[in-house]
Structure 1
């Protein structure tokens, strides 16, 4: 699949490695926001079904993946910084839609609360507005392992908790990736964990009421950490929210099995394409 790679300057003069998968048959663009400890490579399966319909943009945070080498002396950044980075990338690539996974949902909702002019809809998967007991327990262990930079413990923790339903091959890849990160990346994740835990859900999700575009929340039926029931609390906060529950699936959704991939694809495509149809009708009405 053809890709255009570039390094762009954004908020605080940070350098971001981006990958654009162009689609010459459309002018619409979706930008993908990965979760903690992950890189843009985690969206490989998403790109395969999105690129035939949209231009697709991937990026690594300045402290991760292919961006890390371009920011050797950077200070740590918080979720507000990540939201400002996303807003810059939305403007630069003229993105129409956002798709975020897990903790990427925090920066995405903070960015959408600023009401970027071009964004028409967003999909946020494996995320909820509350830290339930299962997530609190996971964060307790994560905070301890990150603080001591215990690589083996971090890799094992993810596979035994949020990654419990991943196939064995994915678990091996996940462990190899997570246990081989730089100390700076663990310190950055520890900052994010502490930031989220210091804020109660009412505080750090208060921005959601300012989001005016349609939102689709996608959660796995077996996900104890960001459960479908917890995600539905967004209906009280977001004026235009919809929900999809993926059966027989945990936190990592389409990575867990083929049927989950098909179900996620159906939910995401149906939602984004419906938004395209509504926008098209609006343009025709204005032209008339």
Structure 2
């Protein structure tokens, strides 16, 4: 299953690496939005769960992954600019569905609040509108070690908190990736954390009041950082919202174990796939001999 690779020019400002997994018999297309410090590679299991049921689009933010060599990294991107990139890609690939992971939810929800005409449904996974005590502690610690560009501390922090329920092999991959990022990527995450900690804690809920499409929120039962109960606050802002809590699972959901991947797959496809058409047969005429 090899994707079609393209580097797209977005608004004359950014060059975006994209991967398009085309299905032979697709009904719709979904775009996946990365979390912070992650790349298209982070969605390997999610792609397996969604394809070939759907066409799947992956992309790297301008500062990350395979988009990184194509861009100048002079100033950090705001969540509004990340949302603009997402909206351009939605138009380019004729996307009907959006799925975000973790802090990718900020760009996804900001984009959805502008009511993009093509989008019919969205899934927001491992995200919460509230900065609870565990998340605030994580962000404060992250802000310090990112400012110092302390690679060892950054790698250990992610694995000891958000990634605490990952298998050991995934933890090693995660540490290697996070601890070897470029300095501008650390600066981007530091900027993002400052935005979150200094912003209005109700901003996500206020922005999402304009979202009218169905939205599914998926959180891990063991995730204390973006807790399932906190995510349910979106029910007050988004009229057509649904919630799934994956048992025995933390922040990284389908990456943590096979059962979590299976449950996540079922939840996604049940929500996204259109219902099977109802086949009606013409009524039979009965003749009665008189």
Give me the TM-score of the superposition, normalised by structure 2.
0.93
Q: Is the 8 A contact 2:18 2:60 kept in 1?
A: yes
* Residue 135 (structure 2) pairs with residue 135 (structure 1): yes
Paired position in structure 1 for 2:284: none
Give the structure 1 partner of residue 184 of structure 2: 184
Number of aligned residue pairs: 278
Residue 249 to residue 13, structure 1, CA distance change in 2 (3 Å): same
TM-superposed CA distance for 1:76, in Å, is 1.7
Shift of 1:201: 2.3
CA distance 1:11–1:132, shift in 2 (3 Å): farther
Q: Deviations over 1:98-123 (max 9, x none)?
A: 00000000100000000000100000
5+ unaligned residues in a row in structure 2: which ranges? Answer: 279-290
Cα distance in 2 between the residues matched to 1:73 and 1:223: 33
2:87 paired with 1:87 = yes
Matches of 2:174 and 2:73 in 1, distance apart?
27
**Structure 1: 5+ residue stretches without partners:** 282-288
Q: CA RMSD in A?
A: 1.3
Pair 200,245 (structure 1): closer, same or farther in 2 beyond 3 Å: same
Q: The residue matched to 1:100 in structure 2 has which SS?
A: strand
Question: Mapping of 1:1-288 within 5 angstroms?
Answer: 1-11=1-11, 13-273=13-273, 276-277=274-275
Distance 1:30 1:203 in 2: 26
CA contact (8 A) 1:11 1:81 kept: no
CA distance in 2, matches of 1:151, 1:117: 42
Asked if 2 retains the 8 angstrom alpha-carbon contact of 1:11 and 1:84, the reply is no
Which structure carries more helix by proportion?
A: 1
The answer to whether the 8 Å contact 2:24/2:52 transfers is: no
Q: Distance in 2 between matches of 1:2 and 1:174?
A: 23
Larger Rg, first or second structure (1 or 2): 2
> Is the CA contact 2:73–2:184 (under 8 Å) kept in the aligned structure 1?
no
- 1:173 and 1:261 map into 2 onto residues whose CA distance is 18
TM-score by length of 1: 0.94
Check conservation: 1:126, 1:220, Cα contact below 8 A.
yes
Question: Which segments of structure 1 move beyond 6 Å, counting only runs of 4 or more?
Answer: none
Q: Distance in 2 between matches of 1:225 and 1:181?
A: 23
Q: Distance in 1 between matches of 2:275 and 2:98?
A: 17
